[in-house]
Structure 1
Amino acid sequence: MTVAVRFAPSPTGLLHIGNLRAALTNWLFARKEGGTFLYRLDDTDEERSRPEYAEAIEEDLRWLGLTWDRFARESDRYGRYAEAVEALKKAGRLYPCYETAEELGLKRKALLAQHRPPLYDRAALKLTDADRARLEAEGRKPHWRFKLEHADIGWDDLIQGKKHFHGRDLSDPVLLREDGRPLYTLTSVVDDLDLDITHIIRGEDHVTNTAVQIQLFEALMAAEGRGAVPTFAHFPLIADSGGQGLSKRLGSLSLRSLREEEGIEPLALLSYMAALGTSDAIVARASHEELVAHFDLSHMGRGTPKFDPDELLRLNAQVLHALPFDAVRNRLAALGMAADEAFWLAVRPNLGKLTDARDWWEVTHDPVVPLVDDAGFLAKAAELLPPEPWGPETWGQWTEAVKAATGAKGKALFLPLRRALTARDHGPELKTLLPLVGRERALARLSGQTA
């Protein structure tokens, strides 16, 4: 059996890290098992689906390098869903219901007031042909529910272990709206059957859906004579650092925001999300291949993982510190820095985000207002500044000469020079930064001039 998994987002908003957990876990599982990864756009919610969100989802996946082997779009498959509906009707598993949303809401409230679960009472099954004709003559159009069998439903979940439900404890789900459009419960199962999905890996908020859908899988398999029920795995949902759940519209944790506003590197985000909530150490991985090599679904825990932005930023710095110049050349140019390898190697160890390089580009290429603590000390240092050309050894030679001439050492020697040359208290090693500043700028800044 060839493993086949899917990531099936709805284009109703920007992807956030909760969505990423589903996409990445499925992608890693497929690659580890030598299987296929399907990207399926679940876009039958026509009121809320937007083409710009569909474009954003694809952009996010490509940015992360989560390439797909197959693509499907639910809005292209309405005819197939209609066939499945007819098969279920013929098998006696779909029945028409005529309650309005308001009537169903009142039933729900009444049950909750009695401390009973808000299950549909199957009143529509008691309607006669005459009742249905009368309701339709009044202008009512039916929605269609799937009739669950009152039987045991169970499966061995790859993350949560044995799961058990009973059909009598579940509400018959609506599969078809009054306007004839199919709902997620139906379309997802039809797609998974048709596209030979072998494993469904998704959040634990779908556990009850799975119990319902297992019966729907079995009903369609019996009606159409093909297919197999997939294997299921349900992972815990991610919470924020305060323990609150994540919303699809929580912009601060959307993938677009993390990329464009927070400056997060794709491998940093993937490394963090691959290890979050598992027994694996959270470390920066150097490649997608390394991520796959270390992936094991059995390492995923059942506790609620908390997303820690500080941990992600730590990984982001680690990833940047390992990037070769060729990997960032074009990105630096896009940020207005015609940088060379010497500049990148000098500033790379001090970056938390790539955009931080701009700060050091300004130090080495733009006018800087020096911070002067002791003008006399800086004047003596300027006298001792060696002629160019400069290399990594220049800083050590120069500071040794200044130390011998002034008696300054340690912080008293190095900090005034750094503050004058860079207008900052901290930063890259000056043995690599000084040659980039150059002698002309250095002399001017040591003299207290903006240069």
Structure 2
Amino acid sequence: MSATTNSDTAPARTVVTRFAPSPTGFLHLGGARTALFNLLYARHHGGTFRLRIEDTDRARSTEPAIRAILNGMRWLGLDWDGDEIYQFARADRHAAVAHQMIEHGHAYRCYMTQAEIDAMRAEAQAAKKPLRIRSPWREHSGRTDGPADQPFVVRLKAPTEGAVTINDQVQGAVTVQNAELDDMVLLRSDGTPTYMLAVVVDDHDMGVTHVIRGDDHLNNAFRQLPIYRAMDAIEGGWPDPVYAHIPLIHGADGAKLSKRHGAVGIEAYRDELGILPEALDNYLLRLGWGHGDDEIIARDDAIRWFDLSGVGKSPSRFDLKKLENLNGHYIRAADDARLAGLVADKLDLAPGDPGRAKLETAMPALKPRAANVNELADGAAFLFAQRPLAVDEAAAPLLAGDAPALLARLHAALDALHNWDTESAEAAVRQVAEDAGVKLGQVAQPLRVALTGRKTSPGIFDVLVLLGRDESLARIADHTPANGA
């Protein structure tokens, strides 16, 4: 006998998806992508996207991890519907379902000792077979004939014959023989529920119709389905969910994603790498899903276009360079005031500091050259540098030789300007170069170093305007012969 799960060609129920992270660490790239796919699928079908914190591992679950997950999701705009659910708070409900299953013969109390389990494991190892526990207590009633005062666990009475086929919306039809499954533990000896039981009960109670998660959970689906089917037989209304198991993310070298590939918390992409949330969203969307040749995909378009048929079967490869290139696009498209606020925080400019307004004015000149917020902040640093400017070692040679004399000519020409704007400044600088019989770059480069201390900066005429007449002339004067340069 075999059984098959539902197809997803046309969702028959109102779609409910969920993201269910364990708060034992940060929100990582794979988790964020899973949340994004669940959100987009629900929004595409006019459904609901829920968040459940699976905090049943009390030893490893932490409040800082919960905060990091919630903050990371909010930063990425992964807005869930309703309040988040905390799994541990529902332990009594999980246990109640296990006891229902005992009463109806779908689960049993198992009094096997650790020594018996160890012996069974040794026998399996000797036969070079995986351990699949079939307890001798399986055929007992589990209610009245257990040893007095001996601890027990509650095990699922898993089917032993036939097979189950899941029509996974990403992986296709996957079949497992029921003989390959064991009688997994539902309740531990202390009465607490296991992850496998809690997930199924919570998904049912939350009305989850589609379980979209990493393909490392595919085997779990076959272990969890017997719980659905047992409870459906007991009380009805426990339909199988539609499954979609997404390939994991690998590094650019094809190996499993690790810290050396950039597998850090989402907050690190924001705080350390200066990535914008819309850029990371867009990048995660394209890690394993596509819509033709489209690369730049706004959230509204993603909701309109997203479906599971567009998810590939092969692992995606994370490439930090591609993320940074995509981020550069979003930097250039971002609102200047918003970027100025982000850069001001990087530069520790307090709210109300006039430097914030200066940053906003500077953004059109700064953002074409920046791939992330850190580069924006670095490019803006010259605006707030104190005189005399520290000059980069690589830039210092540009102030030698004829540079001081050229800077003296530039100072005189710029000081004579009636209008301090890019057009007037450019005309003055070009005239100095022509009069000196040199190329524009031979004048512009020492001028850049004098104004910013660096070999690179926004356009030099923009720099003059952003610094203003007095500050520009003072910085140039610091490197003219009259000042001992």
Deviates more, 1:118-127 or 1:436-445: 118-127
Q: How many residues align?
A: 447
Corresponding residue for residue 342 of structure 1: 361
Q: Does 1:45 align with 2:81?
A: no
What is the CA-CA distance between 1:408 and the residue it aligns to?
1.5
Distance of 1:396 and 1:69 partners within structure 2: 55
Shift in alpha-carbon separation, 1:422–1:125, aligned structure 2, 3 A: same
Deviations 1:138-189 (A, max 9, x none): xx41111111112221121111111111110112211111110111111111
Which of 379, 390, 400 aligns to 1:369? It is 390
Distance of 1:434 and 1:110 partners within structure 2: 81
What is the CA-CA distance between 1:266 and the residue it aligns to?
0.8
User: Which residues of 2 match residues 292-303 of structure 1 at below 5 A?
Assistant: 292-303=303-314
SS in 2 for 1:393: helix
Corresponding residue for residue 422 of structure 2: 392
Structure 2: gaps of 5 or more residues: 1-12, 350-354
Which of 401, 404, 407 aligns to 2:431? It is 401
Structure 1: gaps of 5 or more residues: none
Q: Does 1:143 align with 2:140?
A: no
Which of 374, 383, 388 aligns to 2:412? It is 383
Q: Does 1:90 align with 2:108?
A: no
Q: Is the 8 A contact 2:168 2:245 kept in 1?
A: yes
What is the CA-CA distance between 1:131 and the residue it aligns to?
11
SS in 1 for 2:439: coil
Give the counterpart letter for 1:27 in structure 2.
L
Distance of 2:97 and 2:464 partners within structure 1: 72
What is the CA-CA distance between 1:125 and the residue it aligns to?
2.6
Q: Does 1:415 align with 2:445?
A: yes
User: Which residues of 2 match residues 222-261 of structure 1 at below 5 A?
Assistant: 222-246=233-257, 253-261=264-272
Which of 55, 61, 80 aligns to 2:93? It is 80
Deviations 1:304-338 (A, max 9, x none): 11211121122222211111123234334434142
Q: Is the 8 A contact 1:39 1:68 kept in 2?
A: yes
Deviates more, 1:237-246 or 1:263-272: 237-246
Q: Is the 8 A contact 2:109 2:143 kept in 1?
A: no
Corresponding residue for residue 59 of structure 1: 71
Which of 213, 220, 224 aligns to 2:224? It is 213
Corresponding residue for residue 354 of structure 1: 373
User: What's the RMSD between the two structures over aligned residues?
Assistant: 2.7
User: Which residues of 2 match residues 109-120 of structure 1 at below 5 A?
Assistant: 109-120=122-133
Q: Is the 8 A contact 1:275 1:282 kept in 2?
A: no
Distance of 1:130 and 1:228 partners within structure 2: 28
Deviates more, 1:152-161 or 1:423-432: 423-432
Deviates more, 1:183-192 or 1:237-246: 237-246
Corresponding residue for residue 8 of structure 2: none
What is the CA-CA distance between 1:292 and the residue it aligns to?
2.1
Distance of 1:220 and 1:439 partners within structure 2: 78
Identity of aligned residues (%): 33
SS in 1 for 2:244: strand
Deviates more, 1:18-27 or 1:363-372: 363-372
Q: Is the 8 A contact 2:168 2:174 kept in 1?
A: yes
Shift in alpha-carbon separation, 1:77–1:251, aligned structure 2, 3 A: farther
What is the CA-CA distance between 1:73 and the residue it aligns to?
1.8
What is the CA-CA distance between 1:106 and the residue it aligns to?
4.9
User: Which residues of 2 match residues 264-283 of structure 1 at below 5 A?
Assistant: 264-280=275-291, 281=293, 283=295
Distance of 2:260 and 2:43 partners within structure 1: 29
Give the counterpart letter for 1:351 in structure 2.
A
Q: Is the 8 A contact 1:420 1:446 kept in 2?
A: yes
Give the counterpart letter for 1:366 in structure 2.
A
Shift in alpha-carbon separation, 1:40–1:99, aligned structure 2, 3 A: same
Give the counterpart letter for 1:35 in structure 2.
G
Give the counterpart letter for 1:148 in structure 2.
A
Q: If the length of structure 1 is used for normalisation, what is the TM-score?
A: 0.91
Q: Is the 8 A contact 1:387 1:439 kept in 2?
A: no
Give the counterpart letter for 1:219 in structure 2.
A
Shift in alpha-carbon separation, 1:144–1:247, aligned structure 2, 3 A: farther
Deviations 1:368-412 (A, max 9, x none): 235413222222222222425422313421222122211221533
Give the counterpart letter for 2:43 in structure 1.
R
Give the counterpart letter for 2:357 in structure 1.
A
Shift in alpha-carbon separation, 1:425–1:291, aligned structure 2, 3 A: farther
Q: Is the 8 A contact 2:162 2:177 kept in 1?
A: yes
Q: Is the 8 A contact 1:388 1:439 kept in 2?
A: no
Q: Is the 8 A contact 1:16 1:250 kept in 2?
A: no
Corresponding residue for residue 186 of structure 2: 175
Q: Is the 8 A contact 1:6 1:39 kept in 2?
A: yes
Distance of 1:390 and 1:351 partners within structure 2: 26
User: Which residues of 2 match residues 192-211 of structure 1 at below 5 A?
Assistant: 192-211=203-222
Deviations 1:233-253 (A, max 9, x none): 001011223333346999951
Q: Does 1:158 align with 2:179?
A: no
Shift in alpha-carbon separation, 1:260–1:98, aligned structure 2, 3 A: farther
Distance of 2:115 and 2:450 partners within structure 1: 73
